[in-house]
Amino acid sequence: MPELSPETLLNAALGLLIVMTLAGAVLAVTLRKVFHNLLGFGLSVIGGAGVTLILGSEFVALMQLLIFLGGIAIAMVFAVMMSTPNEQAEEPRSAGAVIPAILLGLGFTALICWAMLDGNFPQSSPYVAEAWSVKNIGLLLLTDYELPFEAISILLLAAIIGSVLIARRTREPEPSEEADRG
Amino acid sequence: MPALIAALEGMLGTWLTQFLLGFTALAALITLNAMFMVWFERKVSAWVQGRLGPMEHGPQGTLQTLLDVIKLLGKEPIIPAKVDRTTFILAPVVAFLPALVLLSLLPYSEDLVFTNAESGILLVFAFGGVSLMGVFMGGWSSNNKYALLGGVRAVSQNIAYELPLLLSTMAVVLSAGTLNISKIVQVQTAGGFGWFFMYQPLALIIYIIAATAETNRAPFDIPEAESELVAGFHTEYPAMGFAVFFLAEYTYMFVVCGVGAALFLGGNHGPWLPGPCWFLIKVYFLLFLMVMFRWTFPRLRFDQLMDLAWKLLIPLSLANLMVTALVIKLV
Amino acid sequence: MSGIYLRFLPELGLLGLALVLFFIAVGPGQEADEREPADSRRKRLIRAAIAGDRVALVGGGVVLILAILAVRQAGPLFFGAYRVALFSQVIKIILAAGLFFNIWLAQEAQSLAPRERPELMLFLSLSTLGMMMLVSADELISFYVALEIAAYSLYILVPLTRGHGDHNEAAFKYFLYGAATSAVALFGMSILFGLAGSSSIPQIATALSANPSTLAVTALLLTLGGVFFKLAVFPFHFWAPDVYQTTSHSVAAFIAGTSKVGAVAALLRLLLMGLSLDQLYWLLGALALLSMSYGNLAALAQRDFKRLLAYSGVAQGGYILLGLAALDSAAYAAASYYAIAYLALMLLCFLVVIELGRTRHGVRADGSTDNSLPIDALGGLYSRSPWLALALMIGLLGLAGVPPTAGFSGKWFLFKAILDQGGFWWVLIAGINNTIAVYYYLVVLKAAYVTPAADGATAIETSLWPRALTLSVGLGVVVLGIAPQIIMPTLQAAVSAMIGS
């Protein structure tokens, strides 16, 4: 049996996961059915969670899986309810819309890659397992990141009230649309 | 990364052997468990209804399932004409794939732990989400209204019951101070602490209800309610596709009961008998409960199902979590 | 301990106001009861709406007072994620004033169903809360979350108008653009975090100045993109005309005025904290020139007053951006002065839009809502309502930069600061732009003052509210224009204090 060093193994896994993430992303934008797009996105998310895991943050990776997969499942239900039925053929994409989008996407990617080459990222601090432990993340959420932690709840509350509000409009039309117009 | 490398280095020598051994053992467990559960379920239902159940093949019909498996293997795998082919074929695979990972997370005894993950409990629930995707993929790709409805119901039900399930286990996690399943078992076995169901009876009840719903078991089996939806999300699946979905379902039942046994009932802890035996006894006790639920409770209507989760279980489990946190803080 | 609460006073006030409004919005009687006769239900909803209006008005006033009380506070909060300083406190007063006047304008807003008026007030205050947090956030994640609170509230408000119609399309466009720019901004922030190894903005600033690179400039630009979207400068402006035209007048007024001040302040604060590199000088300058040229030329072609205001807003955003591009404290102070003037002028313009909107039927033949306001509809405004015509005149002349309004002195300060920085060509292009702009503002004024009223147009009865608003804000604009020294030294002190820290 050839000698497998742990680094090679991990790097291979990392490469596989990155390929998976990218492949999922490509599927998510190229396929024609919303359902397939979401599956692609799911693949991408799983790949991303794997990368996070290999980089050493088990908790964040698992939370990503837990939250995103639930979210994708819900998005799928909505996609099924709102998109064209399965048996209907999708309209082909128009080249006039696709080509500029591809060019723009590639251009942006090229720009970022070019800029990345110039960037000098600082040496990351040595890996400490405790730094990413659940306990430490919890402590950080209640100290340094307390404000965003609390503010996100305001944001979510606003989003929930707003979606209920908008959904209500289509559900029960307001009474006497015209009567009180001043 | 360095931690992982160290971990890999330690086990790379025997890595392949261990992997193959573990893989085989778990695969055997999956098959045996499913075969036993099918027979067990038939027997229990017969007992509840005052019948005999399968008696023809083997003593007490124990060979019945084996023959069923052979029958399923011999059937032609049909792929209906208008299904979404790729998704249709992938769906059972996606539903089944996480099962192996999940089984490897359970603490069968102090020594027999396949994966000792630091966030084991989260891992269980995270991979459960993957299998939900498989169920919905099957429902959607079948291009059948019953199947699609079954899939949609499965998603809304699973999302709703995932919350009380997680929250009820979190109460135990808070008390034990770790997310590692083996360590939670150790906390219970350590000198006279006692099992967690004594401290968290409410969490245990919520956990069992939510777990039953998560595995789409009656009385929460509306994703496959046969009187409304033919067979729900797997309506269009013949032969092995159907079998794989079934295998996945029984494996998940084993997993949730395994987690329940480890968290609330002290895992492999018990007198006289060796650890794995105790673990299996506890798991099958919980599984027996779930089978009894199926044959003694009427199926819930969809709105009742949602009411139960959102209006009762989630607030209760939240309250339980808060009280637990308060008690831990004060004691 | 009490000092800590004092520092957070305006935000706490807004949170309290939002909470009260939330309970009015979901309060007893809001749910439908089938047995109740439609008439009594309607009356009940209107009562709740009026209660919400008044509570919001009083609450807005209280928040304004709280913001003024808290002006002298300074220091960090929340483990360094939040920093209260003179600059942020001054901006908070302006934001609170903007909210107060917006609520004032939105009293008994006719383009919204009564049932949804408490929600209008609720989300106006939440959006303002987001902007207030934006100008104090010292940490990238807080900054991003605050940006999103401000934006989400507006995403919800835009489709809130009676019936069905184009506003759904506009709302969707707004949301998609917002989501896309916020994703881009987040991407930029992730690179900034990678470059500095910290999410604290001052630390990022230190790291960037120690180690400038192309990547840093790119990341910074991407991050600022999220704010450019709110400011609606070219090329982030595509949503603006549609949203202004189709959403209800009260919401459009908020987006046009207060929301932009928030965006300007957020941009300014990022630059002031040292998140700036010399390359930004050219990038921001180019963006500013493009924005004002595009906005002004597009505004020339508009036949709808609200669309015209949108494009004029794109152009005005360009002027402000030019001040920011100068990367100099005098120009920063001038830009904040100009933003304040712009807020006041927008309030005056939208006062006219809202009051005129009350008289228009607002429903098309097919039953969809019509929230647009063609310039022709302004015909004979002088004879129909001298008050509104006066408000319109002050507002438009101010936007055109005619003395003695604050619009003039704002531009004067801006151009002077840029000239001092050696930006002669920039000022020249901006000057040419301003000349173009005068044309279309005058077209509107001509419609209001010279064109006779359309047949059947009756006099517009303006109640005490709009008159008082015209008088107070109009007077404010002129006084600020004549005597800018009332607030200029404060702004300068605030800006230099930020640079010094």
Instruction: Note the pLDDT of residue C2.
Output: 58
The answer to whether A161 contacts C22, with C-beta atoms less than 8 Å apart, is: yes
Percent of chain B whose pLDDT exceeds 70: 90
Rounded percentage of chain C residues whose pLDDT exceeds 90: 27
Q: What is the pLDDT of residue B110?
A: 67
- Cβ–Cβ below 8 Å for A62 and B159: no
Hey, is the C-beta of B274 within 8 angstroms of any chain A C-beta? no
Question: In angstroms, rounded to a whole number, what is the distance separating the alpha carbons of residues B12 and B5?
Answer: 10
Position C189 scores a pLDDT of 92
Min Cα–Cα distance to chain B from A177, Å: 32
Cα–Cα distance, C20 to C321 (Å, whole number): 37
Nearest residue to C30 via CA among A156, B310, A180, A172: A172
AA letter at C413: F
Cβ contact A86–B132 (<8 Å): no
Residue A136 amino acid letter: N
Min distance A182 CA to chain C CA atoms (Å): 7
Quote the CA–CA distance of C144 and C139 in Å, as a whole number. Answer: 9
Residue A19 pLDDT grade (very low, low, confident, very high; cuts 50, 70, 90):
very high
Coil vs helix vs strand at B14: coil
pLDDT of residue C312: 92
Note which residues in 72-111 of chain A have CB less than 8 A from chain B. 72-74, 76-77, 80, 86-87
A39 near B CB under 8 A: yes
**What does the pLDDT read at residue B151?**
84
Structure tokens at C424: 């002669």
> How many pairs of residues across A and B have Cβ atoms under 8 Å apart?
91
Name subunits touching C (3+ CB pairs < 8 A).
A
In A31-145, where does DSSP find H-type helix?
34-54, 58-82, 95-118, 134-142
Q: How many residue pairs bridge chain A and chain C with CB atoms within 8 Å of each other?
A: 120
Read off the pLDDT of residues B7-31 as tens digits, 9 standing for 90 and up: 665 655 556 666 777 777 778 888 8
A155 → closest Cβ in C15, C25, C149: C149
Question: Which band of pLDDT confidence, cut at 50, 70 and 90, is reported for residue B218?
Answer: confident
pLDDT digits (tens, 9 = 90+) for A72-96: 888 888 888 777 666 666 677 787 8
Q: Give the mutation candidate from A38, A63, A78, A86 for the B interface (greatest B CB count, under 10 A).
A: A86
CB-based contact, A54 to chain B, within 8 Å: yes
The answer to whether A115 contacts C215, with C-beta atoms less than 8 Å apart, is yes
- The whole-number pLDDT of residue A178 equals 44
Domain extent, residue C184, equals: 2-30+37-500
Nearest CA in chain C to A159: C152
Contact B87 A54 (CB under 8 A): no
Q: Is the pLDDT of residue A152 over 90?
A: yes
* pLDDT score recorded for residue C64: 92
Cβ–Cβ contact C37 with A under 8 A = no
Chain B residues 85-124 with CB within 8 Å of chain A: 87, 117-119, 122-123
A158 to chain C, any CB pair closer than 8 A? The answer is yes
A10 neighbourhood in chain B, CB within 8 Å: 1, 4-5, 8
pLDDT at C126 over 90: yes
Rounded to the nearest integer, the mean pLDDT of chain A is 80
**B132: contact with A, CB 8 A cutoff:** yes
* Contacts of B among chains (3+ CB pairs under 8 A): A
How close A117 gets to chain B, by Cα (Å)? 24
**Site from B17, B119, B137, B183 to mutate, A interface, most A CB atoms within 10 angstroms:** B119
Is residue B1 very low, low, confident or very high in pLDDT (cuts 50, 70, 90)? Answer: low
Question: What pLDDT is recorded for position A107?
Answer: 92
Mean pLDDT of C77-96: 88
Higher per-residue pLDDT: C4 or A22:
A22
State the average pLDDT for chain B: 80
Contact A73 B136 (CB under 8 A): yes
Hey, are the CB atoms on A73 and B9 less than 8 Å from each other? no
**A100 shares contact with chain C (CB less than 8 Å):** no
Provide, for chain C, the percentages of residues in helix, strand and coil under a 3-state DSSP scheme, each rounded to the nearest 5: 75, 5, 20
Identify the closest residue of chain B to A43 by CA–CA distance.
B130
Predicted confidence band of residue C124 (pLDDT cuts 50, 70, 90): very high
| Lowest-pLDDT range of A51-55, B217-221, C264-268 | B217-221
* pLDDT above 70 for B6: no
Rounded to a whole number, what is the distance in Å from the CA of B272 to chain A's nearest CA?
Answer: 37
The per-residue pLDDT for B192 is 66
Taking Cα atoms as reference points, which of B119, B154, B175, B184 lies closest to residue B252? B154
| Predicted pLDDT at B14 | 59
Q: What is the pLDDT of residue C32?
A: 64
Q: Mean pLDDT throughout C363-384?
A: 78
pLDDT 10s digits, A31-85:
877 888 888 888 898 899 888 888 877 788 888 888 888 888 888 888 887 776 6
Mutation pick from A161, A168, A172 vs chain C, by most beta carbons of C within 10 Å, is A161
User: For residue B154, what are the contacts with CB-CB under 8 A and spacing of at least 6?
Assistant: B132, B135, B136, B139, B216, B223, B232, B233
Residues 3-62 of B with CB under 8 A from A: 3-5, 8-9, 12, 16
Q: Would an 8 Å CB–CB cutoff place A9 in contact with chain B?
A: yes
Pick the residue with more confidence: A94 or C399?
C399
Contact A35 B179 (CB under 8 A): no
Please tell me the predicted confidence (pLDDT) of residue A176.
Answer: 47
In a 10 Å sphere around its CB, with 0-12 CB exposed, 13-18 middle and 19+ buried, how is residue B13 labelled? exposed
- pLDDT class for C235, splitting at 50, 70, 90? confident
In angstroms, the CA C368 to CA C347 distance is 27
pTM for this predicted structure: 0.88
Q: Residues A93-106: what's their mean pLDDT? A: 86
Distance from CA of A38 to the nearest CA of B (A): 10
Whether residue B240 has pLDDT greater than 80:
no
B159 and A73 in contact by Cβ < 8 A? yes
Q: Is the pLDDT of residue A147 over 60?
A: yes
Q: What is the pLDDT of residue C182?
A: 92
**Residue of chain A with shortest Cα separation from B7:** A6
Closest CB to C38: pick one of A112, A175, A182: A175
Say whether residue C362 is in contact with chain A using an 8 A CB cutoff: yes
Domain ranges of chain B: 80-330
Q: Which of A119, A161, A165 sits opposite C213 (nearest CB)?
A: A119
Is B155 within 8 Å of A1 when comparing Cβ atoms? no
Tens-place pLDDT, residues C436-462? 899 999 988 888 888 887 777 777 777
Cis status, amide bond into C235, omega within 30 of 0? yes
| Cα separation, C171 vs C255, whole angstroms | 13
Residues 6+ apart with CB under 8 A from B317: B163, B164, B167, B168, B171, B202, B203, B206
Asked if C29 is an interface residue toward chain A (Cβ–Cβ < 8 A), one would say: no
Residue B113: what pLDDT?
A: 67
Task: Give yes or no for A160 touching B (CB within 8 A).
Answer: no
| Rounded to 5°, angle at Cα B310 from B306 and B313 | 110
Closest-CA distance of chain A to residue B40, Å: 32
Our count of domains for chain C comes to 1
**What tokens does B249 get?**
């379902």
With a cut of 80, say whether residue A161 has pLDDT above it: yes
Contact yes or no, C with B (3+ CB pairs under 8 Å): no
For residue A129, what pLDDT is reported? 65
Q: Which residues of A touch B12 (CB under 8 A)?
A: 4, 6, 9
What are the CB-based long-range contacts (under 8 Å, 24+) for B220-227? B220/B157, B220/B161, B220/B299, B220/B300, B220/B305, B221/B294, B221/B299, B222/B153, B222/B157, B222/B299, B222/B300, B222/B302, B222/B305, B223/B135, B223/B139, B223/B150, B223/B151, B223/B153, B223/B154, B223/B157, B224/B150, B225/B150, B225/B299
Are B152 and A77 a contacting pair at CB < 8 A? Answer: yes
